[in-house]
Amino acid sequence: MDAVVFVSRVLPYVTLLVFGAGWVYRFFSWAKARPPRKITLYPVPQTALATSANILKKAFIFPTLYTADKFLWLATILFLVGLFLSVSLHAFINYPATTLLPNALGLRDLWSLLGISTVTRENLAHLLGSISAILVLITVAFFLLRRFAIPEVKYLSTFSDYASLVYLLVIISIGTYLRLFKIVDHGHLKAYLASIASLSPIAPPDNTLFLIHLTLAQFYLMYLPFNKATHSMSTLIIQKMEQWR
Amino acid sequence: MRIGAAESYRMHPARTEALEALGIRPQEEKVGKALEFLEKFNNRALILFLETCSKCGACAEQCHSYLGTEDPKNIPAGRANLLRKVYKRHFTLAGRLLGSLVGAEALTEQVLEEWYRYFYQCTMCRRCAVFCPFGIDTAEITALARQVLTSLGMVPKYIADVVSNVHKHGNNLGIPEPAWRNSCEFLEGEIEEETGKEVRIPVNEKADILYVPPSADMFTNADTMIGVAKVFHAAGADWTTSTYASEAANFGLFYDVNAMKLLNKRVVDEARRLGAKRVIFGECGHGWRVAKNFTEALNGKVEFEIVNILEYTTELVRKGKIKVDPTTNQDPVTYHDPCNMARGAGLIEEPREILRSVVQDFREMSPNREMSFCCGAGGGLLTEELMEFRMKISKPKAESVKATEAKILASSCAICKAQLPLVMDHYGLEVKVSGVMDLVGKALVM
């Protein structure tokens, strides 16, 4: 089997397996641990609804980080929004809100309803994808830079903290380049990703940088459940524990 | 930032005999014992706290201990790293394989000594948890590390002395029953002299309310006790103090869950013996946190209500059951939120409501409420050998007070009230420190 076939048609399934199993393992290790004592961090809301809203607010908007360090707060928000957009814009611009839901209601996709042509839509997706890729690139570079530049953060950092940021930066740089200069045919990319999802993988876009980007990204995804990026989930559990009424 | 700048601050350790009296057996082979302890300790919050930190450093500027000492081992995430490095090395695959590349380090006697110094430089105030974007509560990490140290026999003398006082005499100060009764009589005399009224401070009587003050209220903060006695009298309450449960504080929180349970049990047992329907805790921050949040987990469900004197007084003021005259307290007053009252137990608006009705000029300091800075002596650090450290780390609090230009600094915690007068003095502020109930006592119309 040649390397391209392995990386593009076999490795994705290994990645999905390790990624999924990794998260299951993580959740299991948290679930089987003894529950903590009542570590409520007051003030806390008095109703279940308000508590849920508070947990989401703390986990996604970090209001106290805004008070503590506005610059870091802004960078974090831009990073997360950029990451969400740029990852989804690889393939998912049509699904499910814009297409599946209107289809289910017997309508055509949202874009057609709004009178936006396919070309305009693709252009919009490209523009948004480019902006979000640059946002992620700049913010990750900022996270890395502050790790070197702020003495306290430098003191706290270990080799792995720098390494994972540098690694991410490489993935994102290649991705941003491919996106900005339309190196890869986006229709082909979407068809390829859809073919992975339907378990009948087709040949990927034929571009070396793209294949490097694809490979590095897969290794990162496999590593993700085992590093501190699990904070995307663990923070929800922590907030829940600290909002105990 | 100066690595190791705070290394010299070290609490005097307790002697073997003192430890044995508390049921702690000092261990010879410390490293093995500590790892054994950690292996069995499998707490969800701790695992999440250790795994989640992204080392963004947002906690550094929010920690008075780091601001005061500039030692990065006192940055909350840096302090957690002291434990995290050991956890990684001994209990994670990455740490075993990659060692220092992922920040893992083997546990040694030196590391344990480092723990002893730095985990006893955390006031467990939980301000870092408020500002951490993930909510990581370093006080819980400190509590775990201290628990490990306790299991090895590494306990500060100050804490061991205080706890053995409670076991012997029922309170931190070691006041025996005759002296307690004398103090109550003396305070009754003081009240009579001031008001002409006969106000009783009952001892060991069957009553609806068992009042548990911090024992410092019998001496250094006598005005707090006077205020409380006057309020109970004015409200016509059936209340008593106890010489068996004469301490609201619970130093167990600072070093040992077993001790915390035993100290909490004294109050529970005594409330039952005296047939109390309500146990009212006095102005003690961490004691109130333990009583409110941990009683059930430590000693089971209780059939009596657990209330704080500030909640009780707020109700009386709200319902007009006591009359107060704010013109008796004319000086500008500001309020220091004790960490364990505010962040720790949610007693945030009540003291403000009381103060607004008993003083003429109430001013908020900034930051306040759950964002308030610690007084600098919480977490069991109110000891002489840490005086220089305590003064250094209380600077943010001194600045908060100074900016209000208040003449009276009210607070509702005996530890804060012991620390803050020294802080005011150290930073050249002419501000009198007072309890909230002291001011209520003065404003009360009898």
> By CA distance, what is A227's nearest residue in B?
B51
Q: Is A99 helix (H, G, I), strand (E, B) or coil?
A: coil
How wide is the angle at C-alpha A37 spanned by C-alphas A40 and B118, nearest 5°?
Answer: 85
Confidence of residue A227 (pLDDT cuts 50, 70, 90): confident
Structure confidence by residue, pLDDT tens digits, B11-47: 999 999 999 999 999 999 999 999 999 999 889 999 9
Q: Which residues of B touch A237 (CB under 8 A)?
A: 44, 48
Evaluate whether B29 touches B77 at the Cβ level (below 8 Å): no
- As given in the structure block, the two tokens for residue B318 are 């709200």
Q: In what order do the strands lie in the sheet with B278-281?
A: B239-240, B209-212, B278-281, B305-308
No. of helices (H) and no. of strands (E), chain A: 13, 0
Amino acid at B55: K
Comparing alpha-carbon positions, the chain A residue that sits nearest to B95 is A160
Which of the residues A28, A80, A155, A239 would you substitute to probe the B interface, choosing the one with the greatest number of B C-beta atoms within 10 Å? A155
> What average pLDDT score do residues A16-24 get?
97
Which residues in chain B are closer than 8 Å to A67, comparing Cβ atoms?
131, 371
**Looking at the partner chain, which of B49, B56, B135 has a beta carbon nearest the beta carbon of A41?**
B135
At residue A229 the predicted structure's pLDDT band, cuts being 50, 70 and 90, is confident
Among residues 57-86 of chain A, which lie with CB inside 8 Å of chain B? Answer: 58, 62, 64-65, 67-69, 72, 76
> Mutate which of A26, A38, A39 to disrupt the B interface (most B C-beta within 10 Å)?
A39
* Distance (Å) from the alpha carbon of A234 to chain B's nearest alpha carbon: 6
Cβ atoms of B210 and B245 within 8 Å: the answer is: yes
Nearest to A153 among B55, B101, B371 (CB): B55
Peptide bond into B214 cis (omega under 30): no
Asked if the Cβ–Cβ distance from A65 to B348 is below 8 Å, we say no
Distance CA A73, CA A80 (A): 11
Is the pLDDT assigned to residue B99 strictly greater than 80? Answer: yes
Confirm if B154 and B400 have CB atoms less than 8 A apart: no
Tell me the chain A residues in contact with residue B58 when contact means C-beta distances shorter than 8 Å: 65, 68-69, 72
Residues in A closer than 8 angstroms to B3, CB to CB, are 155
The CB density around residue B109, as the number of other CB atoms within 10 Å, is 10
Quote the pTM value. Answer: 0.95
Which of A30, A226, A238 is nearest residue B136 as measured by Cβ atoms? Answer: A238
What pLDDT was estimated at residue B82? 98
Task: Region of B418 please: left (phi>0), alpha (psi -120 to 50) or beta.
Answer: alpha
Question: Which chain A residues are Cβ-neighbours of B133 within 8 angstroms?
Answer: 62, 64-65, 76, 235
Reported as a single tens digit per residue, the pLDDT across A51-106 is 999 999 999 999 999 999 999 999 999 999 999 999 988 876 555 556 666 677 77
Chain B, nearest residue to A60 by Cα? B133
Beta carbons of B370 and A43 less than 8 Å apart: yes
A 185-214: CB under 8 A from B: none
- For residue range B116-164, list pLDDT tens digits in order: 999 999 999 999 999 999 999 999 999 999 999 999 999 999 999 999 9
Q: What phi, psi does A207 have (nearest 5°)?
A: -150, 130
How many angstroms separate the CA atoms of A46 and B261, rounded? Answer: 28
Distance CA(B377)–CA(B385), nearest Å, equals 12
Burial of A173 (0-12, 13-18, 19+ CB in 10 A): middle
Q: For A33-37, B248-252, B278-282, B422-426, which range has the lowest pLDDT when averaged over its residues?
A: A33-37
**Token couple for B14:** 């307790």
Tokens of B392: 């250094």
Q: Which of A42, A56, A77, A222 to mutate to test the interface with B (most CBs of B within 10 A)?
A: A42
Residues of A in contact with B67 (CB under 8 A): none
C-alpha angle B243-B306-B201 in degrees, rounded to nearest 5: 35
* Alpha carbons B438 and B248: distance in angstroms, whole number: 17
Q: What's the Cα-to-Cα distance from B304 to each of B102, B253, B266, B270, rounded to whole Å?
A: 50, 22, 14, 11
Measured between alpha carbons, how far is B223 from B439 in angstroms, rounded to an integer? 9
Confidence of residue A120 (pLDDT cuts 50, 70, 90): confident
Prior bond of A96 cis (ω within 30°): yes
Return the pLDDT at A99: 66
**Cβ within 8 Å, pair B55-A157:** yes
CA of A226: which chain B residue's CA is closest?
A: B94
Average pLDDT, chain B: 97
From the CB of residue B9, how many other CB atoms can be counted at a distance below 10 Å? Answer: 23
Looking at the partner chain, which of A30, A40, A76 has a beta carbon nearest the beta carbon of B48? A30
Contact B436, B412 (CB under 8 A): yes
User: Residue B411's beta-bridge partner residues?
Assistant: B336, B435
ipTM above 0.85, yes or no: yes
Rounded Cα gap, residues B338 and B403, in angstroms: 18
DSSP string, A162-222: HHHHHHHHHHHHHHHHHHHTT-S-HHHHHHHHHHHHTT---PPP--HHHHHHHHHHHHHHH
d(CA B333, CA B338): 16
Q: Hey, are the CB atoms on B45 and A67 less than 8 Å from each other? A: no
